[in-house]
Structure 1
Amino acid sequence: MVDFDNLNYLSGFGNEFATSDPRVPDALPEGQNNPQQCPHGLYSEQLSGTAFTAPRHSNKRSWLYRIRPSVIHHPFEKFEQNAWTNDFGKFSPNPNQWRWNPHPIPDKGTDFVEGLYTLCGGGDVISRSGLAIHMYACNKNMDHRAFYNADGDFLIVPQEGELEVTTEFGRILVGIQEICVIPQGIRFSIDIRGPSRGYILEVYGVHFQLPDLGPIGANGLANPRDFETPVAWFEERDEPFEIISKYQGVFFKAKQNHSPFDVVGWHGNYAPYKYDLRKFMVINAVAFDHADPSIFTVLTAQSTRPGVAIADFVIFPPRWGVAENTFRPPYYHRNCMSEFMGLIVGNYEAKEGGFKPGGASLHSMMTPHGPDFACFEANTKGELKPQKVAHGTMSFMFESSLSMVITDWALKENVDWNYHKDWQPLKKHFVMPK
């Protein structure tokens, strides 16, 4: 049996880690990265997540010590994945508010790779500046199959069904209300504990990092010590494996005669990791007015413009609302950012009716949005007293400075065509003063 909870605490992005499988003592070379002969007849292989000359504080790389180098595979061929895209230039723009119902679990056997589909995105995967938002729904394991994304990082948010993620660095169990980040190029396979469904934020050209804290100080939001990386684990399986690569937004497959998960030990600062959203230290307004959602940022992928993100991953966890003389839910809003909302569990406080766990909504750049009629009426007339907000709930937002393009598939499947009706009952309350 494999202990999926056997993890290292990351304790800070950029820190160096060294770990090997305890079954093979002294697997890591001492004093150098690439000796003439590695211990136990292993091969050394470096995995670089940034340019060699990136500044030290942002330089990402790890050394892997494996039974066979990953170069041993047959040539790649096309792999059909029709519901996926990173080419958003071929779709027509649409500025409407959109909401989707949860995507159903497939009837036939479908693994994680086969169950991927794209809702929206922006930027360009070839010039490596942009993002895409995908979802997945699957009901079987990735048997003798591994996947890697040559284009960017995956931030995976399971909404139903725990994920057993096997990577080249070890194994991670990702539960509901946890997230997992698989950086660019790392091979992984996903087994499921029951049918699974969830969300994926993909960024290319940048990596996720913790946001700066500024006046918040040292200890707010997501604490570095709560991020976990896998302890080394390997398997020595001389059996056929299929390697799926996503390259320039297109899927390819290659065959090899051994498991890619044969890394006996590794060290470095470029590795998959997970985080439990329930450990987030919430910052909130305690006097008046509704604070901006940026105070709920877990991870960010920054653009070249200071303070402007390619993507922010923001959550809305349970918290206390105490602001006085204030309309406490999110205010009506038009934004120079694009906002994609998802719901993991519970009810989102601004739209408790039509927004369901596993569903999603998109409010595009400068498209107005805000609380529905029922939420507005209740929160303008109700008694203001300290109350627990979002109790038993976890919702999130993928926010981006890029203008989102919606795929043709997403304009047809699972659409809540009545979403715009949430705001139609809003009444005119204006009274001209005498």
Structure 2
Amino acid sequence: MPFYHRLGKIPHKRHTQFRKEDGSLFREEVMGTKGFSGIQSILYHHHPPTQVSQVKTIRNWRPELEEREANRYRHLLAADLPKQGDLIDGRVHLLVNEDVAIALVCPTEPMEYFFRNSDGDEVLFVHEGTGEFQSVFGSMSYRPGDYIVIPVGTTYRLKMDEGPQKFLVIESSGEITPPKRYRNEFGQLMEHSPYCERDIRVPETLDTFLEDGAFEIRVKAHGQLDAYTYNFHPFDVVGWDGYLYPWIFNVEDFEPITGRIHQPPPVHQTFSGPNFVVCSFVPRLYDYHPEAIPAPYWHSNVNSDEVLYYVKGNFMSRKGVREGSITLHPSGLPHGPHPGKVEASIGKQGTEELAVMIDTFRPLHVTKAAKEVEDPDYTYSWLP
């Protein structure tokens, strides 16, 4: 979220001498986007962040795609995916294109290393679990319903509490930001926005680690995963300031926009990415026109694919989906409520559903892993 923040100790002026108690210099790092014309932060390290002692390639990051099949409605029983690995190696990529990759992960093992995505921003939606998100910018606690927004190039790891953990992962090829229409010319969220700066949680605790040893940072870059070993702890930052840092927004703080008649999906938009949007369907009152039909009308995604991740509640326009399901309604095909759902919605006062929607403006590709948990009957579930 681009507003100014600072933590720890920093010098009075940037790009000037900033010395430790022993007289040696802290190492200044400018971390920014779009060359030097995007948002940035300046971090002060105990060690030069370039001191790499070993480099190796771990694996190809790109998932395997299914063989090309007929364009159709898809329902992925993602709750049946295996619980495995850590936050990174346990990810199962399900839907991908040039702009975004959508994955699910139910980690069972702690991260024994650090991770950095150098290809774009990430969002982790916390479906289950609590813990601490630790990064070079400091620490934040997380809980169910949190969107953890992680800028490109951020070195981080999760410290998970005991109990089940489940995350919807959105990997972007660029920046993920609040929608522009909710911000004024200075970037401040305006009165008609469904959330504001008070709802944003930013790093508040900066612990500086002065440990020697062998510390591995795994970096996703150019479609592969590489490992870099450092002889010092990567969280050696004594202070930083700027506009670029991870932040958290909880879906419970999203204030739904309602009206007399059914509102279109853009009112649910929460974030913007390159050629895609992320929306939040939260508990809300239904439309209040005396003849309103609360269920959504049938609509054609002429130039976008629609993905819904069902978090919890009663999904008023769908039959057969359950918590943890993912549906894909691709471009070129009209879609809408299942049989009987329109009539059943009339007269209802509200809904308790909670879901995350991702609309992409370029077609998504289905992975082989997704194919393994597909419900083959979903395509025909609108038949009477």
TM over 0.5: yes
Q: Distance in 2 between matches of 1:225 and 1:263?
A: 26
Give the equivalent residue in structure 1 for 2:94.
119
- Number of residues of Structure 1 aligned to a counterpart in Structure 2: 373
Superposed CA RMSD in Å reads 2.4
How big is the shift at 1:270? 0.3
C-alpha separation in 1, matches of 2:226 and 2:69: 29
Deviation (angstroms), 1:214: 8.9
The unaligned stretches of length 5 or more in structure 2 are none
Cα 1:358–1:211 shift into 2, 3 Å: farther
Aligned to 2:355: 395
Equivalent-residue separation in structure 2 for 1:275 and 1:419 (angstroms):
33
Aligned to 1:78: 57
Question: Could you give the per-residue CA deviations for residues 152-193 of structure 1, whole angstroms, max 9, x where no partner exists?
Answer: 000111212224211100112221111101110001101222
Instruction: Return the match for 2:16 from 28, 31, 35.
Output: 35
> What secondary structure does 2:255 align onto?
coil
Structure 1 counterpart of 2:279, one-letter code:
V
Pairwise CA distance, 1:34:
2.1
Dislocated runs of 4+, deviation >4 Å? 104-108, 214-217
Other-structure match for 1:315: 280
Q: Offset at 1:15?
A: 2.3
Q: Secondary structure at the match of 1:278?
A: helix
What is the identity, as a one-letter code, of the residue corresponding to 1:221? P
SS across alignment from 2:341: helix
Q: Which of 291, 298, 309 is the equivalent residue of 1:332?
A: 298
Deviation at 1:44, TM superposition (A): 1.2
Matched, 1:344 2:318: no
TM-score by length of 1: 0.80
Superposition pairs of residues 77-96 of structure 1, within 5 angstroms: 77-80=56-59, 84-85=61-62, 92=68, 94-96=70-72
Out of 183, 196, 200, the residue aligned to residue 223 of structure 1 is 196
User: Which residue is equivalent to 2:230?
Assistant: 256
Offset of residue 323 of structure 1? 3.4
Contact 1:211/1:299 (<8 A) preserved: no
Query: What is the CA deviation profile of residues 53-105 of structure 1, one whole-angstrom value per residue up to 9, with x for unaligned ones?
Result: x2xxxx21101112223212234322136xx52787x9636521111113447
Aligned partner of 1:36: which letter? Answer: Q
Residue 10 of structure 1 corresponds to: none
Match of residue 7, structure 2, among 16, 19, 28: 19
1:157 aligned to which of 117, 121, 125: 125
CA distance in 2, matches of 1:375, 1:398: 22
Distance 1:343 1:79, change over 3 A: same
**Contact 1:91 1:405 (C-alpha < 8 Å) held by counterparts:** no
Question: Counterpart of 1:212 in 2: which secondary structure?
Answer: helix
364-373 vs 291-300, greater mean Cα deviation? 364-373
Q: TM-score, normalised by structure 2?
A: 0.90
Deviation at 1:198, TM superposition (A): 1.8
Aligned-pair CA distance for 1:195: 2.7
Give matches, 1:128-277, under 5 Å. 130-143=99-112, 145-193=113-161, 194-213=163-182, 218-231=191-204, 232-277=206-251
The answer to whether the 8 Å contact 2:276/2:361 transfers is yes
**Aligned counterpart for 1:62 among listed residues 34, 37, 41:** 41
